[in-house]
Structure 1
Amino acid sequence: MSTTTAAAETEQIPSSRTETDPAPRPREFLGGLPVYGWGRAPAHLRTQTQMASERLKLADEQKPVAYLYIQRHGTFELYDPADAVKMKPLASSVKAKMAQRRTCPTCGKIRKYVVRGKQCTVCRDKARAEQQRREARTCWDCRTVRERRLPTHHRCPDCRRKQLDKRRQDAVAWVEKVTVCPGDGYGAGCSVKLVTKKEARAYQKGQGAERTWWSRAPHWPERCPSCAEAKRLRDAEEHAKRQAEYEEREKKRREAEQREAEERERWAAAALVDSDVLVLDTETTGLDEDARIVELAVLTSRGEILLDTLLNPGVPVPDDAADIHGITTEALAGAPTFSDVLVRLTGLLDGKRCLIYNKWYDVGRLRHELTLHYLDCSAVNATEEEAAAWAREQAAAWLDGMQFEDVMIPYSDWVGDWSEYWGNNRWQPLQGGHRAAGDCRAVLDCLRSMGRKYADEYATASVASGGTDEGTN
């Protein structure tokens, strides 16, 4: 580093000079200490890493005397080795371990660096060079290793002859191909001459002797006039066939979309006049897997409230969730628990069609509450794993006995707000004010919007069958 630079500058001083060189000039000062550039520091100063390599360590409270600045690396502290303390000599066992780490397993020589792997860099370079020399003597086709380096084509004489024979055959076949009309594609070529073989060979030779493929001249005809006309008619027929198939597929697709749209609208109109249809919604402590229900509401298809209650989850309501639905922990004091309303909820949903906006989320929250409920009812002498498995089975059995239907997907498809990013229709937000009963009413509004076209038809059918048409109002 700086020692090598200083020594080099000393050797360049002529012997006739008697005056000494001026002291190194620092580039700046940092904290009152000079900062030297690369190769400009006094020769006797050392960095901490250099002192460690010379078996020196800093004395107690030893301060740096200067700094060394290296571009793109930063500033390093320089110390005076005269103030340092000599390290204790290494033990023989430590030296042996260090030497073992620096010993190459291949050549057995001790290097100045730690040898990682099975070869040092010298052995690795030798092996790579040997592999390159061997590859230069190996035929690319038969992989035979010769005694001498192969020519630039990298093939032995036998393989080279085969290569040249194959190339000549390909050249002859190409000339035959471009000079004769290939025909209309339904049978053999019509054998009409398009260009002369002499012209084809001259154009082929002009593209290079070592080529394995050749291109046609742009002014050569690909077919004779009669075959070109036959190809044009065939291509036009195939295009018309593909166009007809495309139009038929598009017609079927549009008809299927119309049928699906009509089914969605009829499903919504029929749900509004069905006395066995209920709407359920929940408000929770969050969106995570452990979120608890804090409000539950069940309404009929006519908007009558069957259940609308707050639920005490037994855990605090996070502020971010309370900011959305306005239900705080204090408001839930004295409210019933989910277990308290489970019997009533079961009686309301049993044998009914329960419509939910984003069914998967609300059913997941019901599953979590049911699991916790049955976990409290598990056998006392059961293990924790057995109690949890039994609770999950009971929750699954309760949910399997109910009939849940989703409204969000049909309504989003009915709105048709297509997203190129998701490749699907965007889910529409529910404008219910983030309260359980209000969201249930918003679900009914979505059903009314979807089923407006067939509302009168299903209302009339409901009245004729002894039902009511209040759900269409």
Structure 2
Amino acid sequence: MSTSTAAAAIPAVRTEPAPDRVARGKPLAHLDGVPVYGWRGAPSYLRTKTQLASDRLHVTEAQEAAPLAYVRTRDYGDVPLHDPAAAVKMRPLPSSTKAKMAARRTCPECGKVRKVILRGPCSVCRERAEKQRQRERARTCAGCGTVREQPYPKHRRCRSCRQEQLEAKRARVAAWLAEVTVCAGDGCTKRRGSKKAARAWLKERDWLLCPERTDLPDSSWNTPDWSPRCTPCQKAYDAEQERRRAECQAWYERQERERRERERREAEERVRWAAAALADPDVVVLDTETTGLDDDARIVELAVVSSSGEVLLDTLLNPGEPVPDDAAALHGITTARVAGAPAFSDVLVQLTSLLDGKRCLIYNRWYDVGVLRHELTLHYLDRAAREAAETVRLEKVQPGTVAGDLRERAMAAARLQAEAWLDAMTFEDVMIPYSDWVGEYSEYHGNNRWQPLNGGHRAAEDCHAVLGCLRAMADSAATDAVADGGDMTATGGGPWSKSA
């Protein structure tokens, strides 16, 4: 082939792309059809928004909506890349803005403009001030504060202060030498070592040779290498220590015996209490099912069972509000089931007659008494509100002029009446003694774990489950616990009998 033919075969314009527009790696993925490259894998001419901003370029809305590629980062995810040729140059900042930015970077000490925002003097001024403080500190006496032209030695004291320091050091060394060379026994003055050996021990550790050192060996060190007491005093000391150890051991053993005896008596007391509760005809068991676990939960079912297992009261109650789904899933009582049920106020008279003069046992007394307190407050609040409205009517007060604290006064009166009702009853908790009887100790809480009732989440079933707990406690020991003086029906209950 001739030279002219070869030249004709070569095109006049090269079609290969520029090297900076060729991707340096394969895409890791595609996001809406746009390739996502790894680090340093995208074309080199593409830039992020931060890089464009450093070059005083602004990304247009079209570029923002359609990036040319993405780069995948560990901290920021997939970052979009744009073409700098299509970016718009930023407008120059106003002179006032530039002046404010320069003022934030100006050092108040030297007046120079730094590259970063300053919150006080710049680093150069701070280093200069620190060096000046160190020079002034080196020229200031640490004792009296006298300042001189030349720096002080390493001890940083003038002549008089240094003499006082050395005298104090000599006094401490003399006291320490007397301490380590005289028997430490009470009233004993026997020598147990020489001061010469003690000074040699100090010199080996530079306590006397180093002039600026003013401290002394720690008393916990074995200094010097002889016993702190003479032989007779050491024997007496060892005997005293042995006597004290024996006394401490005897005290701990006595405390352990008392603890075990106390636990045994408490266990017997729990068994007698459970047996007496089962045999007492004045004992009833109460349980409630509610709309939740909050303080303002309403009762949807109430049951009272005697100690013999007879059901005295078992009724659904209309709370006056929808039953939450999570509560209904637990006990199965829905809003439709309580739609025609009586309200709490309708069964309050019957409940009062059943609990009056009785010992009422409850599993987790604090919760059930709390929901009873809330229901009683609402019951007496309605009555107090009616009484207040009747008072307003009789006094011929305009409705719009009634004092704003009328409901607060009614609420206070209702709370007092609810507390009076609860104080007239006797409630005893079963959960604490039963959990202590089971004895599942928790290292985290430092006490026995509270045991679940496992009664089926219906009021009557839970009452019978409480009776089952009492029977399990009573059957765990000899049945003559009650006959031996453990009948607690005359005293009104055990240590868990507390008013609300």
TM-score by length of 2: 0.74
Separation of aligned partners in 2, 1:233 and 1:28: 84
- Between 1:409-418 and 1:128-137, the stretch displaced more is 128-137
1:237 to 222, 240, 243: 243
Deviation at 1:150, TM superposition (A): 3.8
CA contact (8 A) 1:349 1:402 kept: yes
> Do structure 1's residue 298 and structure 2's residue 300 form an aligned pair?
no
Alpha-carbon distance between aligned partners in 1 of 2:168 and 2:290, rounded to the nearest angstrom: 77
Q: Deviations over 1:35-85 (max 9, x none)?
A: 8849x956xx76533543554323452476787898977776665555433
- 1:410-445 CA-to-partner distances (Å, cap 9, x unmatched) read 222222222111111111221322221122122222
Which stretches in structure 2 are left out of the alignment for 5+ residues? 1-17, 28-33, 390-401, 491-500
Which residue of structure 1 lines up, in the alignment, with residue 25 of structure 2?
Answer: 28
Correspondence for 1:422: 445
CA distance in 2, matches of 1:206, 1:461: 78
Aligned twin of 1:203: 201
Aligned to 1:272: 278
**Match runs of 1:206-285 below 5 Å:** 206-209=204-207, 210=210, 212-214=215-217, 215-216=221-222, 219-285=225-291
**Match of 2:473, SS?**
helix
**Uncovered stretches (5+) of structure 1, i.e. residues with no partner:** 1-21, 467-473
CA contact (8 A) 1:271 1:277 kept: yes
Alignment pair present for 1:173 and 2:175: yes
Query: Are 1:286 and 1:321, in contact at CA under 8 Å, matched by a contact in 2?
Result: yes
**In the alignment, structure 1 residue 58 sits paired with structure 2 residue 59:** yes
In the aligned structure 1, how far is the partner of 2:74 from the partner of 2:271?
73
What residue number does 2:88 align with? 85
What pairs with 1:371-410 in structure 2 (closer than 5 Å)?
371-377=377-383, 378=385, 379-380=388-389, 383-410=406-433
1:306 is paired with a residue whose SS is: strand
In the comparison of the two structures, how many residue pairs are matched?
Answer: 436
Bigger drift between 99-108 and 309-318 goes to: 99-108
When normalised by structure 1's length, the TM-score is: 0.78
Q: Give me the CA root mean square deviation.
A: 3.8
CA offset at residue 142 of structure 1?
4.7
- Which residue in 1 is equivalent to 2:346? 340
In structure 2, C-alpha distance between the alignment counterparts of 1:461 and 1:167, rounded to whole Å: 76
Separation (CA, whole Å) in 1 of partners of 2:424 and 2:236: 68
Percentage of matched positions with identical amino acids: 57
SS in 1 for 2:281: coil
Letter in 1 for 2:295: E
Q: Does 1:450 align with 2:451?
A: no
State the secondary structure of the residue aligned to 2:234: helix
SS of the residue corresponding to residue 313 of structure 2 reads strand
* 1:170 partner amino acid: R
Q: What is aligned with 1:114?
A: 117
Superposed displacement of residue 339, structure 1: 1.9
Residue 180 to residue 308, structure 1, CA distance change in 2 (3 Å) = same
Could you say if the C-alpha distance between residues 203 and 26 of structure 1 is closer, same or farther in structure 2, counting changes exceeding 3 Å? farther
**1:294/1:33 Cα in 2 relative to 1: closer, same or farther (>3 Å)?**
closer
User: How far did 1:390 drift?
Assistant: 3.6
Q: What is the CA distance between 1:205 and its match in structure 2?
A: 1.3
Q: Which amino acid aligns with 1:114?
A: I
Indicate how the Cα distance of structure 1 residues 358 and 133 shifts in structure 2: closer, same or farther if over 3 A, else same: farther
Range with bigger deviation, 80-89 or 326-335: 80-89
Structure-2 change in CA distance of 1:141 and 1:400 (3 Å): farther
Shift in Å, 1:218? 7.3
Matches of 1:35 and 1:328, distance apart in 2: 57
* C-alpha contact (below 8 Å) 1:269/1:454 kept by paired residues: no
Q: Does the 8 Å CA contact 1:266/1:454 hold for their aligned counterparts?
A: no
